[in-house]
Amino acid sequence: MARRYWLMKSEPGTYSIEDLEEDGETHWDGVRNYQARNLMRDDMQVGDGVLFYHSNADPPGVAGVAKVVSKPYPDPTQFDPKSKYHDPKADPAEPRWWLVDIAFEERFGNVVALPELKDDTRFDDMMVTQRGSRLSVQPVAKKHFDAVVKLGRKRR
DNA sequence: GCCAACGTTGGC
DNA sequence: GCCAACGTTGGC
Protein backbone atom coordinates (compact mmCIF):
# COMPACT_ATOMS: atom_id res chain seq x y z
CA MET A 1 0.00 0.00 0.00
CA ALA A 2 1.36 3.35 -1.01
CA ARG A 3 2.17 6.00 1.53
CA ARG A 4 -0.73 8.30 2.29
CA TYR A 5 -0.78 11.89 3.40
CA TRP A 6 -2.84 13.74 5.98
CA LEU A 7 -3.38 17.10 7.56
CA MET A 8 -4.01 17.20 11.30
CA LYS A 9 -5.16 20.30 13.11
CA SER A 10 -4.21 21.40 16.56
CA GLU A 11 -4.56 24.66 18.41
CA PRO A 12 -1.01 25.72 19.27
CA GLY A 13 -2.22 26.86 22.69
CA THR A 14 -3.21 23.26 23.35
CA TYR A 15 -0.50 21.39 21.48
CA SER A 16 1.91 22.97 19.01
CA ILE A 17 4.60 21.75 16.63
CA GLU A 18 7.10 22.99 19.21
CA ASP A 19 5.50 20.70 21.79
CA LEU A 20 5.78 17.79 19.36
CA GLU A 21 9.41 18.62 18.63
CA GLU A 22 10.12 18.53 22.34
CA ASP A 23 8.15 15.33 22.97
CA GLY A 24 9.41 13.50 19.89
CA GLU A 25 6.09 11.76 19.55
CA THR A 26 2.57 11.94 20.90
CA HIS A 27 -0.77 10.16 21.07
CA TRP A 28 -3.27 12.02 18.93
CA ASP A 29 -6.01 11.72 21.52
CA GLY A 30 -9.24 13.63 21.92
CA VAL A 31 -10.61 13.35 18.38
CA ARG A 32 -14.38 13.19 18.83
CA ASN A 33 -15.62 13.46 15.29
CA TYR A 34 -16.71 10.36 13.42
CA GLN A 35 -15.31 11.33 10.05
CA ALA A 36 -11.93 12.09 11.55
CA ARG A 37 -12.13 8.92 13.59
CA ASN A 38 -12.86 6.84 10.52
CA LEU A 39 -9.87 8.25 8.68
CA MET A 40 -7.53 7.45 11.56
CA ARG A 41 -9.03 4.05 12.30
CA ASP A 42 -9.54 2.78 8.78
CA ASP A 43 -7.05 4.51 6.52
CA MET A 44 -3.90 5.48 8.42
CA GLN A 45 -0.80 3.37 8.25
CA VAL A 46 2.61 3.50 9.84
CA GLY A 47 4.84 5.76 7.76
CA ASP A 48 2.13 8.07 6.44
CA GLY A 49 3.02 11.75 6.16
CA VAL A 50 1.25 14.40 8.25
CA LEU A 51 1.03 18.13 7.74
CA PHE A 52 0.84 19.59 11.24
CA TYR A 53 -1.65 22.46 11.09
CA HIS A 54 -2.06 25.23 13.63
CA SER A 55 -5.70 26.26 13.88
CA ASN A 56 -6.98 29.26 15.80
CA ALA A 57 -3.52 30.72 15.36
CA ASP A 58 -2.24 33.94 13.89
CA PRO A 59 -1.86 33.15 11.12
CA PRO A 60 -3.44 29.72 10.87
CA GLY A 61 -1.38 27.38 8.70
CA VAL A 62 0.88 24.39 8.31
CA ALA A 63 3.67 24.59 10.88
CA GLY A 64 5.62 21.43 10.11
CA VAL A 65 5.66 17.78 9.26
CA ALA A 66 5.07 14.63 11.29
CA LYS A 67 4.58 10.99 10.47
CA VAL A 68 2.32 8.21 11.64
CA VAL A 69 4.29 5.81 13.86
CA SER A 70 1.62 3.46 15.23
CA LYS A 71 -1.28 1.45 14.01
CA PRO A 72 -4.69 2.77 15.03
CA TYR A 73 -5.72 1.77 18.55
CA PRO A 74 -8.52 2.77 20.94
CA ASP A 75 -8.15 6.22 22.50
CA PRO A 76 -7.71 5.48 26.22
CA THR A 77 -9.05 8.89 27.27
CA GLN A 78 -12.60 7.85 26.29
CA PHE A 79 -12.65 5.45 29.27
CA ASP A 80 -11.03 7.83 31.76
CA PRO A 81 -13.64 9.67 33.86
CA LYS A 82 -11.01 12.23 34.83
CA SER A 83 -10.15 13.08 31.23
CA LYS A 84 -11.85 15.99 29.51
CA TYR A 85 -12.23 13.61 26.58
CA HIS A 86 -14.10 11.05 28.67
CA ASP A 87 -17.07 9.55 26.82
CA PRO A 88 -19.55 7.94 29.23
CA LYS A 89 -21.13 6.03 26.36
CA ALA A 90 -17.87 4.43 25.25
CA ASP A 91 -17.74 0.67 25.74
CA PRO A 92 -14.33 -0.98 26.22
CA ALA A 93 -15.63 -4.06 24.42
CA GLU A 94 -16.35 -1.93 21.40
CA PRO A 95 -14.31 1.27 21.53
CA ARG A 96 -15.86 4.27 19.91
CA TRP A 97 -12.80 6.49 19.50
CA TRP A 98 -9.48 5.60 17.93
CA LEU A 99 -6.15 7.31 17.51
CA VAL A 100 -2.65 6.90 16.17
CA ASP A 101 0.72 8.04 17.46
CA ILE A 102 2.63 10.59 15.42
CA ALA A 103 6.30 11.54 15.55
CA PHE A 104 8.01 14.85 14.87
CA GLU A 105 9.79 15.18 11.54
CA GLU A 106 10.41 18.85 10.92
CA ARG A 107 9.34 22.32 11.87
CA PHE A 108 9.03 24.82 9.03
CA GLY A 109 11.17 27.94 9.15
CA ASN A 110 8.01 29.78 8.29
CA VAL A 111 4.48 28.62 8.75
CA VAL A 112 2.74 28.08 5.41
CA ALA A 113 -0.19 30.32 6.19
CA LEU A 114 -3.75 29.56 5.17
CA PRO A 115 -4.08 32.81 3.15
CA GLU A 116 -1.03 31.77 1.14
CA LEU A 117 -2.63 28.45 0.32
CA LYS A 118 -5.85 30.18 -0.63
CA ASP A 119 -4.01 32.60 -2.93
CA ASP A 120 -2.17 29.82 -4.72
CA THR A 121 -4.28 28.16 -7.42
CA ARG A 122 -2.36 24.90 -6.96
CA PHE A 123 -4.26 24.46 -3.70
CA ASP A 124 -7.72 25.28 -5.03
CA ASP A 125 -8.75 21.64 -4.66
CA MET A 126 -7.17 21.09 -1.27
CA MET A 127 -9.66 20.44 1.52
CA VAL A 128 -8.23 22.91 4.01
CA THR A 129 -8.71 25.86 1.63
CA GLN A 130 -12.43 25.16 1.23
CA ARG A 131 -14.86 27.38 3.04
CA GLY A 132 -16.24 25.84 6.20
CA SER A 133 -13.68 23.04 6.25
CA ARG A 134 -13.73 22.07 9.91
CA LEU A 135 -12.60 18.46 9.76
CA SER A 136 -9.62 18.10 12.10
CA VAL A 137 -8.10 15.16 10.25
CA GLN A 138 -8.08 15.52 6.49
CA PRO A 139 -6.70 13.45 3.63
CA VAL A 140 -4.10 15.30 1.56
CA ALA A 141 -3.03 14.58 -2.02
CA LYS A 142 0.66 13.86 -2.53
CA LYS A 143 0.99 16.83 -4.88
CA HIS A 144 -0.38 19.12 -2.18
CA PHE A 145 1.78 17.57 0.52
CA ASP A 146 4.92 17.99 -1.56
CA ALA A 147 4.10 21.56 -2.57
CA VAL A 148 3.37 22.62 1.03
CA VAL A 149 6.62 21.07 2.26
CA LYS A 150 8.51 22.91 -0.45
CA LEU A 151 6.96 26.22 0.61
CA GLY A 152 7.63 25.51 4.26
CA ARG A 153 11.33 24.89 3.63
CA LYS A 154 11.76 27.93 1.43
CA ARG A 155 13.58 30.78 3.09
CA ARG A 156 11.68 34.01 2.93
C1' DG B 1 -36.75 9.61 10.29
C1' DC B 2 -37.35 14.61 10.50
C1' DC B 3 -35.70 18.75 12.04
C1' DA B 4 -35.22 22.47 15.61
C1' DA B 5 -32.23 23.51 19.14
C1' DC B 6 -27.95 23.50 20.69
C1' DG B 7 -22.85 23.07 20.85
C1' DT B 8 -18.39 23.46 18.59
C1' DT B 9 -14.97 24.82 15.27
C1' DG B 10 -12.14 28.06 13.52
C1' DG B 11 -11.41 32.04 10.30
C1' DC B 12 -11.68 36.73 10.53
C1' DG C 1 -15.43 38.51 20.27
C1' DC C 2 -18.38 37.55 16.34
C1' DC C 3 -20.64 34.46 13.66
C1' DA C 4 -21.05 31.16 9.61
C1' DA C 5 -20.72 26.51 8.92
C1' DC C 6 -21.37 22.31 10.45
C1' DG C 7 -22.16 18.18 13.65
C1' DT C 8 -24.92 16.12 17.25
C1' DT C 9 -28.85 15.48 20.16
C1' DG C 10 -33.34 14.53 21.34
C1' DG C 11 -38.42 15.32 21.05
C1' DC C 12 -41.95 13.98 18.33
In chain A (156 residues long), the average pLDDT of successive 10-residue segments reads 93 95 96 94 96 95 97 93 85 90 95 95 95 93 97 82
CATH of the domain at A73: 3.10.590.10
Q: Which residues touch strand B (CB under 7 A)?
A: A 9, 11, 32, 55-57, 60, 114-115, 118, 134-136
Question: Residues near A83 by Cβ (< 8 Å), separated by ≥ 6?
Answer: A77
* Range(s) of the domain holding residue A149: 5-153
Whole-number pLDDT of residue A90: 84
- Element holding A68 (H helix, E strand): strand A61-68
Amino acid sitting at position A126: M
| The pLDDT value given to residue A110 | 86
Domain count, chain A: 1
In whole angstroms, B8 C1' to A122 CA is 30
Nucleotides of B under 7 A from a protein CB: 8-12
Question: What pLDDT is attached to residue A35?
Answer: 93
Question: Stated in angstroms, how far is A25 CA from B7 C1'?
Answer: 31
Q: In Å, what is the separation between the CA of A136 and the C1' of B11? A: 14
Measure Cα distances from A17 to A3, A34, A69 in Å: 22, 24, 16
Rg (CA), chain A: 15
Give me the CA A115–C1' B6 separation in Å, rounded: 31
